Each structure stands twice: as C-alpha cells, then as structure tokens.
Structure 1
Amino acid sequence: MNARLSAPQLSGPIETTQCDYETVESATEVLFDRLGQLVKMPFFKYYKVDLFRECPFWAEDGLCMQRTCAVESMDESDVPEHWRAEALSRIKTSSDPNAHRYPGCYYSDSDFCFLDDDTSEDSQYIDLTLNPESFTGYAGDSAHRVWSAIYKENCFGLTERTLPDAEQAPTIGGSIAPIALEGKDKLEEEGECTEKRVYYRIISGMHASISTHLCYEYLDQSTGEWGPNLLCFVRRVASHPERLQQIYFNTVLLLRALTRLEPYLAAYDIRTGDSKADSETKQMLTSVMDIAKRVGRFDERGLFKGENAELMKEQFKATFRNVSLIMDCVGCDKCRLWGKIQTSGVGTALKILFELDDRALNPKRNPNLLQRSEIVALVNSLHRFTESLHMTGKFREMWAESEGKGPGMKSWG
C-alpha cells in the first residue's frame, strides 16, 4: 500500500457471514454512539465479578502492583436491592441438573464459558465507567504465560509450527499483539473446517480489539501523557489486515446474537430504581436492536452440521471454557476484569447462537435463562468491538494527516 494512502479500507463480503464491510462501516458511528450511551446506564454499567479467584492452571506470582492495574470497586449498598447477595442467594442455580460447579464458578452444559458465582463472598460490583479498558503497563513472563496457554493449549491440537513463538506472544495491558492464530489460506490448506476457522477468528478478533483500545488509550511512560499511539496500532493491528477483518467478524457475530435475544430482552426486568434511566435504557436498547437487525447478518445454522457436529461443538465449548478460566490467571486486575467481561460476552453470544432455539429464548417459558451479568457482558463486549472500529477510523485520519511520515510508518500496508 502506498504510504500516502489511509489505512487499509476493507471491502466486500465478510467471511462466514452474510454481511459486508461496507454495511458495518455505514453503521459504525451511529452504533458506537448509541452503545456508548447504553453502557453508561445503571443496568449496563454495574458488573458483578470475582477478581480474586486463583489461577487453576499454575501458581501465579506475577501480580501487577502498578496503580494503572487497580480496579475501583463499589459498595453493594449502592446497587438495586434486588441485585444484592441476599436476593441472589435465593436463586437456586445449583438445582440445575446440568450445572457443573467449581469453587467460585460454574457452567451448564449449554455454556461456552465458566460463569462467576454471584453468591460468592469474593464477587464484587464494579462500575465499569470508572474502570475503563486502557493501557496498564502489565507485561513480562506472567502475561506471556497467559497468552501462551491460550494459543498453545486451546487450538484444537494444531501443530507447534502454526503457533506464535514465545517472544511474539502479546503482553496484556501493554503491547498486546493480536496474533491471528491461522490465516484463511493456511487453514484451508490444512483442511480445517469452518467451525475451527470461526474459533480462531473469534480469539484473534478479541485480541485485535483489545490491542486497538490499548493503542488508543496509550500511556506514554516517558511523558506521563495519555493518548492515541498510531505507531502502536500500525505495528500491532493495521499492518496485518486479517486482524482488522476479525474485529468486523466479531462485531457481526455479536450483533446477530443480540438480534436473536430481542424477545427475551423486551421482557427482561431492567429495573434499577431510576425510572427515568430505565426508560432511556429501553429506548436506547430498541434503537441498537434496529441497527443489529440490519447489520448482524450471520447464519448460525450453517455451523455444527453433519456427522461429527455435536462432537465438534463440545470440543468448541470445552476449548472456549478453558479460555474463560485462563482469564483468572491474569495478574493485572483491570486486564482481568475486561478479559473476563469480553470472554463472557462472546461466550454468551455463542450460547445464544448455537445452543438456544427460539423456544428456549421465549421469556415466558424461560425467564431466568440468562444471568444479568451475561447480558451486561454481551452488550459491553459489543460496545468494545464497535469502539475498536471507531478508533480504527480515528487512526486512519491520523495516518492520513501524517502522510505515512515518521519511523516505522512504512510498515503499514
């Protein structure tokens, strides 16, 4: 690409979807604005999470002690009464015969990730607007170990040569390198099926989105100033077009899941005690849903079909569940928080698309189908992806203004 041109402008159909890049681009700014308003509403900005659960895979001693890694919790008395532990303790999640319980978390057979136990003493409410995803400086062996586990232990048995070297592994909260686990061509050469490609694209897209945020909300440690770091974005994301592609793919996937959830959300109790905010939340959610119906064109019926469909789905679920558990090994509280939210958000979308039919999504038949935390994670994750696309647009403008000048800029394109 000529250095004087703007960032790679993707066009044409988005693989494995029924949507194209132009359609997503046309809706990005409106969607970003409306989701930005929605996630500031009381129902969507309070998230209950356990940030103290021990890493189940190894003894984690790489805790980040920097102030930027810290999370500010809130007093439970400040959240609506019917959300509190006393009310949650009356919900008999353990009565589900398909629930598999572990210390502080559990999953049901239909879940694609482990869910935090809301009744756990270590679970706490977080105001997400006070703890935004941003650069924290968390890096080193601890961060490398987390991503190495994701790449090497959760890739459907891919050979070593297809995985990144240790020094290429991204660092959480610092210079995350959203390495695409497999390019489309290589996957097809090795005979990988569509389901595996979808899995790789989801993981790569999550990393690409996180990287975009961290490059945009970047702390220059030499000056102490925060701001967009164009070179960081060029190196980590833009110089690898497939990484940008995965952000679009994940956005369409989440929009489709939100569309399928429409009747359930329409009947869901979103009361927070602030009637004006609750009314605005409903209106904004309807507005977002209108866009989701137009843009979220993904046919989930095309996956997990054929002779080994159920076996592949179970492998897919088990693999993604492991990723959700690995997030408990992140030594930076803020990075762990947003890692858990986005893993849960994508996992919720996968459950909606591949495990729940219209009968199950009937709010009258299944009023307690999803935890509030799953809905909050889904919407906040969608906001993360659309914000990544918004930030990509801002980086394009910065690139155009710079006209490709400066050290390292020629690497874009």
Structure 2
Amino acid sequence: MWKNVLLLWLAFIIGLNGGHSQWFGNIVESNKGDTAATERCFCQLKGAIDDCSCSVETIDSFNNLKVYPRLNSLLHQDFFKYWKVNLNKKCPFWEDDSRCAIRYCSVKPCTEVPEGIKGSGKILGPEVKSKARPKDVSDCDHENDLGYLNTTLSKESQARFERWAAHDSAQDSFCELDEVGDHDSQYVDLLLNPERYTGYVGDSAHRVWKSIYQENCFRPVKNPYADFSNIGADEFLKEMCLEKRTFYRAVSGLHSSINIHLAARYLLSDKTGFEVSSEGVWGHNIEEFQRRFDPELTGGEGPRRLKNLYFLYLLELRALAKAVPYLESLTYYTGNEEKDRDVRNAVKDLLSVVKSFPKHFDESSMFSSGLMQAATLKEEFRGHFRNISRIMDCVGCDKCRLWGKLQVTGLGTALKILFSGNFDQQLSLSAVRETKFQLSREEIVALFNGFGRLSSSIMELETFRQESLR
C-alpha cells in the first residue's frame, strides 16, 4: 500500500513541476531555439492574473517603463549592492554531495571595500552628519572574474557594519536570518556576483526544489497523493484556500524568476574566437528558456509558471507600497552624505511610482477566517516558509546559494510587512519613528534586490519575446 502511495506522490511532484523542478540545466552548444515554441510560451501569457485584479499587459507596461529603470539604477548604489550573508552554514537536512560543473560558481574575495561602506550609522533615525567618503578601489571597480564572490572585510569593519542591523521581532519573521554577529557572515558585492547559469548539477541541485515543493508547499486536502500529472496545477489549487494558493504561487513565481535569469545569463561559450576566455561569453539561451516554459515540454504548465512570476511581482509590489512611510524614513547610511541623500531621493521617487499603481495585491482577505483558525494557518504558513529559507543553506554552489538566500529573504521580508500587522494602518512619519518594529539592513537590502530580480525577469521576458520574432 505505502509503495503505491509513494509512487502516486512522486507522479504528482513530477507532473506538478516537470522541468520547473530542475534549477540548472546542462550546457548546450546552440542558442537557436524553435521560434514557434517560444511563441507558444507567450501566446498564453496574457490576460488576468489569478487571485488578482490585474493583467499581464498592465504589469509589463508599468514595470518596463516606470519601475525597472528606477530600480535598476537604485540597486547600483553602495547601500543596496553590499549584502551580509553566511555562505558556510551546514545544510540541516542532508549531506551536500553537489559539484559545480564549471568554474563560474567559484569563490574569490575582492581584496578591498570602499571605506564609506565600512562606516557605522543608523538606517532609521535622524540624518547622519558624517562626511566620510569612499575611496576609489581599482580592483573592485570591475568584475575581473565574473564567477568570484567579494567576501573580504576585516573583523573591525564587520563589527561596525553590524550597527546597521536593527533588531527585528522574531515572532514576525518568515525567514531564518543569518545571525548579525556570526563570524562566518561576510559582505558580498552583489554587482560583482550576478545571478546566472553556473553549471550547478547533481542530486543536490534537484533535491533543493523537490524538497521545497514536496515537503514545504501546502498539499490538496481531499487527496494529497492523487496523480495530477495529466490535469495540471490549476485543478489541485482550486480546492485550496486563498492563503495556500498564495503560498504555492509565490514559491512557483520565485522559481520561475530564477529560471528566467539562468536562461537569460547563460554561458554560451568558454571561448572568445579561438582562445579560452577568462570571463566567458554570456547571453540569452532560447532553447533553455523553451525547455523550462514551453507548454508542450512542460505538460501545459510553462505559461502558468510565468503567470506566477507576475503574481509574486504584485505581492512584493504591495509590500513596498504598504511600507512606504517606514521605508521613506530610513537614512540609508553609508557614510557618504551626498550619495546617501541621492539614494534617499531615489527611494522616494521609486516609492511614489509604487504607490501610484492602482491594482496592488490585496492581502486583507487572508488569515481572516476566525481568530484561532487564522492564527493556526498563519503559523503554518510561516513555518513552511522558514523551512524554505533553511533549505537555501543546502544549495551547493556558492553563487547560487547567495542569490537563493537573498531572494528568499526578500520574499520573507515582504510577507513580514504584509502580515505582521504593523502596517495595517497608515502611519505618519512620527508614528513610524516611535514604533518598535524595525527591519534589519539585510532585510531591506534583500527586499529591494529581491523585487529587483522580479522586475528584471519581466524585462527579460520582453527580450525573449523579441528574439523569438527575429
């Protein structure tokens, strides 16, 4: 009996995820895809987004014309490009046996960090008067090896940097955050370590997403072991409540976003001409995109996965809009007074655009079905997501782990904003400053960069669409 149950459940996982469960694919020699196959991905990617009062077309226009240019510029600023992370945590669920297939997931520290970034200061509070300015750092201006991670700071600098982190409330957290004082945590320059294909393969690479979907996503109530491989995810989602559907769509949207970036920044060649290149040749791999999203190759699930990306975009957009008073009150301190002022102005400009969107995700109807039942469901929701954040420590490729942890932390921060109750009423600036609720610097950087990944994914979809028409 249990053998049959196991087989049915495995069929459910395979049918639900198809190629979606494979984070990284193999290197292919050709970048030429089937135009008709790519068009199939997009002809079904239109119209209303489930559980939202918005359309794909509306988001495309809003993001590509208004959000992405502002956000992309902002994320190049010092405050948002340095993120503290522990890449040495042991996987709590299994022994890591993964291997990177190519050298671009290797780690090499950048020897220096601009002095202003090492300064101390509060991200929430009065304007900082420090006139410290970062010095030029020639060896960090460019990514000499695109696979390297910038991880070096002195212990003294780390101690000063820790003052940036505010104490967040544990009961509101949806993520297992790295400890602020953890000596294994290091600052990395996100611009020097872009999210892209790394050749990460092996059992561990497949096990990460399989564990997320199989053990940490909500299952159908009526028959959790049913074989949905022939009817698709929509059928089993119909019998789930809004909260559980939201959870699944958010995770699927995150997965889709990651897959888009891997296909958009794919290693096309290790050579420039006849010579081996130290940096490689990177670009859009249409075949890889089709493999992950073509409806004929994914049992009809590819376009739904892309729509889940738009769903997640709306969810995180709503979190930013809900936290506008708080986010506008931060000083975004780096020690460079002029640049910090520019960042604050840029943040306010971006948030004004975020507020202007007429059809945000509506979280008000979630966790509202009776006090005890809602509390139990919210705790289950939080527990599942905290487990997912822990699974990110099982990713065997350092660069993949970096971006997995950052994007999961960004989504967890968005959920914290939406469901902590701290922003259910519009707060004045004075009220914001008096509240005990705070986000750490790492959460704020992850929130903006995580949303930036979603914004970039939607832009990349337009690029794939245009390339399919050539």
TM range, smaller chain: 0.7 to 0.9
Give the total of aligned pairs. 371
- Equivalent residue number for residue 172 of structure 2: 110
Work out whether residues 38 and 281 of structure 1, in 8 Å CA contact, stay in contact via their aligned partners in 2. Answer: yes
- Equivalent residue number for residue 48 of structure 2: 13
1:382 aligns with 2:451: yes
Query: Match of 1:10, as an amino acid?
Result: L
- Equivalent residue number for residue 198 of structure 1: 246
What's the secondary structure of 1:57's corresponding residue? coil
Query: Match of 1:324, as an amino acid?
Result: S
Q: Report deviation, 1:387.
A: 0.6
Which residue of 237, 241, 248 maps to 2:310?
248
1:81 aligns with 2:119: yes
Which residue of 381, 386, 397 maps to 1:332?
397
Alignment of 1:34-73 (within 5 A): 34-64=70-100, 66-73=102-109
Residues 59, 274 of structure 1: alpha-carbon distance in 2 compared, 3 angstrom cutoff:
same
- Equivalent residue number for residue 274 of structure 1: 336
Query: Match of 1:51, as an amino acid?
Result: L
Q: Report deviation, 1:122.
A: 0.4
Work out whether residues 165 and 441 of structure 2, in 8 Å CA contact, stay in contact via their aligned partners in 1. Answer: no
Q: Report deviation, 1:93.
A: 7.7
Take 1:391 and 1:89, find their aligned partners in 2: how far apart are those partners? 35
Which residue of 266, 280, 286 maps to 1:230?
286
Take 2:114 and 2:60, find their aligned partners in 1: how far apart are those partners? 41
- Residue by residue over 1:167-195, the C-alpha shift from the partner in whole angstroms, topping out at 9 and shown as x without a partner, is xxxxxxxxxxxxxx97233321xx21111
Work out whether residues 88 and 118 of structure 1, in 8 Å CA contact, stay in contact via their aligned partners in 2. Answer: no
Take 2:216 and 2:256, find their aligned partners in 1: how far apart are those partners? 18
Which residue of 301, 314, 322 maps to 2:379?
314
1:259 aligns with 2:321: yes
- Residue by residue over 1:50-79, the C-alpha shift from the partner in whole angstroms, topping out at 9 and shown as x without a partner, is 101111111223243742112454556742
1:147 aligns with 2:185: no
- Equivalent residue number for residue 28 of structure 1: 63
Residues 162, 150 of structure 1: alpha-carbon distance in 2 compared, 3 angstrom cutoff:
farther
Query: Match of 2:236, as an amino acid?
Result: K
Q: Identity, % of aligned pairs?
A: 41
What's the secondary structure of 2:187's corresponding residue? strand
Higher alpha-carbon deviation: 323-332 or 291-300: 291-300
What's the secondary structure of 2:433's corresponding residue? coil
- Equivalent residue number for residue 36 of structure 2: 3
Work out whether residues 255 and 382 of structure 1, in 8 Å CA contact, stay in contact via their aligned partners in 2. Answer: yes
Q: What is the TM-score normalised by the length of structure 1?
A: 0.83
Q: Report deviation, 1:162.
A: 5.7
1:301 aligns with 2:361: no
- Residue by residue over 1:300-359, the C-alpha shift from the partner in whole angstroms, topping out at 9 and shown as x without a partner, is 111111131111111010000000000000000000000000000001001100113336
Which residue of 438, 443, 454 maps to 1:369?
438
- Equivalent residue number for residue 207 of structure 1: 255
Residues 201, 86 of structure 1: alpha-carbon distance in 2 compared, 3 angstrom cutoff:
same
Alignment of 1:158-169 (within 5 A): 158=220, 159-161=224-226
Q: What is the TM-score normalised by the length of structure 2?
A: 0.73
Which residue of 354, 379, 396 maps to 2:465?
396
Q: Report deviation, 1:118.
A: 1.7
Take 2:107 and 2:247, find their aligned partners in 1: how far apart are those partners? 30
Residues 92, 335 of structure 1: alpha-carbon distance in 2 compared, 3 angstrom cutoff:
closer
Q: Report deviation, 1:231.
A: 1.5
Work out whether residues 257 and 309 of structure 2, in 8 Å CA contact, stay in contact via their aligned partners in 1. Answer: yes
Q: Report deviation, 1:292.
A: 1.4
Q: Report deviation, 1:254.
A: 0.8
Unaligned runs of 5+ in 1: 99-107, 165-180, 402-413
Q: Report deviation, 1:244.
A: 1.0
Take 2:228 and 2:208, find their aligned partners in 1: how far apart are those partners? 14
Residues 123, 13 of structure 1: alpha-carbon distance in 2 compared, 3 angstrom cutoff:
same
